[in-house]
Structure 1
Amino acid sequence: MSSEIIGALGILALLLLMVLRIPVAFAIAVVGLVGITILDSSTSAMSVLASESFTLASNADLIVVPLFILMGNIATETGMSRKLYDAAYALIGSVRGGLASATVIGCAGFAALCGSSVASALTMGKVSLAEMRRFNYSPKLSAGAVAAGGTLGILIPPSTGFVIYAILTEQSIGRLFLAGVLPGILLCVLFIAWIFVQSYLKPESAPAGPKTTWREKGDGLLGAVPILMIILLTIGGIYTGIFSPVEAAAVGAGLAIVFGMAMRKLSLKATWRAAQSTLTTTSTVMIILIAAHLLNPFLALSHIPQNLGHFLTGLDVSPILILCLILACYVVLGCFLEGFSMLVLTMPIFFPVISSLGFDPIWFGVVVVLALEMGLISPPVGINVFIVKSVAPDIRLQDIFSGIIPFWLVMILAMVLLVAFPQIALILPDTMMN
């Protein structure tokens, strides 16, 4: 049996294990270890397991993961995350669609603290869905705004998606973080634009909220100052070169703790909950990364990535068409696989092709993460959809999926803009480096 056939059988086995709901990390690790054993030897497989586990565990760049996650968890425990929504609510809640737009803005701001789409959707869903229900917003629009807004968590830095992509492809975490800023803002603006278009076409779906005085607007902004300061210092510090990503994560986590203590909202119990959640999430990310580094050698031994790369680059078609085919694969896979699973499964295959075609790897990372975002609201998996359902069980699942379709199409538009104008993603990292 040829190595290519063994590699293809390994990929099929991996997909089958995922369909059977085997934890992603374990499924990847088993296929990687068995594959290396078959194509090389059990000694080699055990050697790769030991060496890769140690190498990843001692990688100082990965400290950004627990630190940024801790920062987001502290913000959640101390109620700082709600302050973002309250500020946006005070500023634009009185216009048609304003409450839904405030939800998207709140998700974007919280994404800049925690880097988690699920956490963003869950936190903002608890805060905003009740308010939109109180003012008779369409369940489809309100649920769609929360589910779609939550996806910003893995595009706006700090992003665990960017960290995993950087480790898998040996790219700069700092450059990826900066590359995600403008696309994240662009997507946020496009979401808000659609909300206002819908509120104009169907005024009954997005009534105006209560009027707020200038004093209330000022109080709302004042309450959001701590979070805005943390965001500006961490992202601004990376951009200006004052901080490395690891140092920025440490500064952000430290400031979140200081502000929490200053507001007298950070009790020992809250600190313990934040630490537990941080440990759980970090462990999950590390196990997936270790498993990915077992799968990569297996695929390399099978020669599938090399053969696929030679085939695609040998086609007499435009590189843009090949890129579109790859992105179409991500859109389809997003209907069935979780985002990190897609990254681990596809990067060893697609990244060499993208590199050989001359596409910028930082820009490609942003486009891929945007594709992963789409998977978060794509049926039938769409994890953000089920997060919203858990927060608002009275909203029918079909209404949630119906509500996210326009936002999904908006994400397609954002992807087209990124492909047409790569500088949207590259201008900040290129400015920083130059």
Structure 2
Amino acid sequence: MSGALVGLIGILVLFVLLIVRIPVALAMFAVGFVGIWALKGLNAAMSLMASESFTLASSAELVVVPLFILMGNVASVTGMSARLYDAAYAIIGHVKGGLASATVLGCAGFAALSGSSVASALTMGKVSMAQMDRFGYDSRLSTGVVAAGGTLGILIPPSTGFVIYAILTQQSIGRLFLAGVLPGLLLLTMFVATVSLMCWLRPSLGPQGPRSTLGEKGRKLAAALPVLLVVLLTIGGIYGGMFSPVEASAVGAGLVIVIGVIERRLTWASFWAAAKDSVVTTATVMLILIAAHMINPFLALTHIPSLVGEFLTGLELAPLAVLGLILLTYLVLGCFLEGFAMMVLTMPIYFPVITQLGLDPIWFGVLVVLTLEMGLISPPVGINVFIVKSVARDVPLGRIFAGVAPFWVAMFVTLVILVLFPQISLILPNTMIQ
């Protein structure tokens, strides 16, 4: 049996396992281990399992994952994320759709703390949806803006998606964080514009909220100031070359803990809950990465990545056309696969094609992460939609998907802009890191 045939069987088995709801990491690990066993023998599979697991687990770069997750969880349990929303609400809550726009801004702020889309959607859903319901917001807008706004967590740095992409492709985490800043701000602007357009066309979707006095705005901004300073110091420290992403994650986590203790909002019980949740999330990410390091060598042995690369380059299409086909497959796969699983499955196949075509790998990373974001709100999987559903139990799932549809279109428009104008992604990493 040829290696390519073994590879195709392995990919088919993997999709079957995912369809029957086997955990992503276990499914990839099983297919990779058994596939290497079939091609190279049991000793090779056992050796690779031991060496790759240890090598990955001892990687210093991966320290950013648990520390940034801990930073976001501590910010959540101490109410720092809620204060970001309150500040945004005080400034723009009185305009039509202002609460929804404030939710987008709050999601962006929390994204800069946690780097997690699921955490952003869950936290901001609990904080903002009750307020929007109280002021008569249509449930399609209130649920849709939370689900879509939560996706900013995977694009606005620090981003877990960029860390995983960097590990899989041997790219610089710092350059990827820099590359995500302007696209993240562009997407944030597109979301706010979408809210404004929806409320202009149908004012009943987002009625005006009460106007805050100048003093109330000042108090809300002052309350959110410590959190904003943490974000500016950690992200600005990376951009300014003061410390590496690993050091920035330690600084950020340490600062939010110190602030929580000083403000007497962080108790032993809440810290334990935040730490435990961080461990669980980190373990999930690590399992997926270890599984990726099992299935990637298996795919390499089958020569499927090189065959796909030869096929795509043999089409003699322009590089942008090939890139468009790759992004289209990501959009389709995003309807069925979890984002990180999709990345680790496809990167060994597509990344060599990108480098062979001479396309910038940092730019490609931004495009991939954005398409992963779109998968978070694409039916039928749309994990952020189900997260919002867990908060808004009385809202039908179909209504939530209808609510995220305009934001999905906004994300697609943003993707097209980033494809046509690569410098939006590349100007910061190319000018600030040589």
Please report the TM-score for the alignment, with normalisation by the length of structure 2: 0.99
- Please list, as runs of the form range in 1=range in 2, the aligned pairs for 1:169-208 lying within 5 A after superposition: 169-208=169-208
Which amino acid in structure 2 is aligned with residue 38 of structure 1? A
Which amino acid in structure 2 is aligned with residue 322 of structure 1? V
Which amino acid in structure 2 is aligned with residue 101 of structure 1? S
Identity of aligned residues (%): 66
2:335 aligns with 335
Residue 180 of structure 1 aligns to a residue whose secondary structure is helix
Cα distance in structure 2, aligned partners of 1:230 and 1:253:
9
- Please list, as runs of the form range in 1=range in 2, the aligned pairs for 1:355-394 lying within 5 A after superposition: 355-394=355-394
2:432 aligns with 432
2:48 aligns with 48
Give the drift of 1:312: 1.0
Cα distance in structure 2, aligned partners of 1:348 and 1:235:
30
Which amino acid in structure 1 is aligned with residue 63 of structure 2? I
List per-residue Cα deviations over 1:364-398 (Å, max 9, x = no partner): 01100000000000001101111111101111111
Tell me, yes or no, if structure 1 residue 91 matches structure 2 residue 71: no
1:401 aligns with 401
Which amino acid in structure 2 is aligned with residue 327 of structure 1? L
Give the drift of 1:431: 1.6
Which amino acid in structure 1 is aligned with residue 137 of structure 2? Y
1:275 aligns with 275
Which amino acid in structure 2 is aligned with residue 328 of structure 1? L
Cα distance in structure 1, aligned partners of 2:126 and 2:316:
52
Cα distance in structure 2, aligned partners of 1:297 and 1:229:
43
Give the drift of 1:84: 0.5
2:313 aligns with 313
2:325 aligns with 325
Task: Tell me the number of residue pairs that the alignment of Structure 1 and Structure 2 aligns.
Answer: 434
Residue 165 of structure 2 aligns to a residue whose secondary structure is helix
List per-residue Cα deviations over 1:124-147 (Å, max 9, x = no partner): 001111111111111111111000
Give the drift of 1:340: 0.8
2:133 aligns with 133
Which amino acid in structure 1 is aligned with residue 28 of structure 2? I
Which amino acid in structure 1 is aligned with residue 426 of structure 2? L
Which amino acid in structure 2 is aligned with residue 30 of structure 1? A
Give the drift of 1:430: 1.1
Give the drift of 1:159: 1.0
2:34 aligns with 34
Which amino acid in structure 1 is aligned with residue 6 of structure 2? I
1:419 aligns with 419
- Please list, as runs of the form range in 1=range in 2, the aligned pairs for 1:336-351 lying within 5 A after superposition: 336-351=336-351
Residue 17 of structure 2 aligns to a residue whose secondary structure is helix
- Please list, as runs of the form range in 1=range in 2, the aligned pairs for 1:228-243 lying within 5 A after superposition: 228-243=228-243
List per-residue Cα deviations over 1:242-263 (Å, max 9, x = no partner): 0100000000001000110111
Which amino acid in structure 2 is aligned with residue 8 of structure 1? L
Give the drift of 1:3: 0.6
Cα distance in structure 1, aligned partners of 2:269 and 2:133:
32
Cα distance in structure 2, aligned partners of 1:206 and 1:27:
44
Give the drift of 1:310: 1.4
Cα distance in structure 2, aligned partners of 1:88 and 1:191:
15
Cα distance in structure 2, aligned partners of 1:425 and 1:190:
16
Cα distance in structure 2, aligned partners of 1:156 and 1:296:
27
Residue 197 of structure 1 aligns to a residue whose secondary structure is helix
Which amino acid in structure 2 is aligned with residue 212 of structure 1? S
1:77 aligns with 77
Which amino acid in structure 1 is aligned with residue 327 of structure 2? L
Tell me, yes or no, if structure 1 residue 293 matches structure 2 residue 293: yes
List per-residue Cα deviations over 1:310-360 (Å, max 9, x = no partner): 121122211111111110100000110000110111001111111111111
Residue 224 of structure 1 aligns to a residue whose secondary structure is helix
Which amino acid in structure 2 is aligned with residue 48 of structure 1? L
RMSD of equivalent CA atoms: 0.7
Tell me, yes or no, if structure 1 residue 210 matches structure 2 residue 207: no
The runs of at least 4 aligned residues of structure 1 exceeding 2 Å deviation read none
Give the drift of 1:227: 1.1
Cα distance in structure 1, aligned partners of 2:255 and 2:370:
29
Which amino acid in structure 1 is aligned with residue 48 of structure 2? V
Please, which moves more after superposition, 313-322 or 234-243?
313-322
1:147 aligns with 147
Please report the TM-score for the alignment, with normalisation by the length of structure 1: 0.99
Which amino acid in structure 1 is aligned with residue 184 of structure 2? G
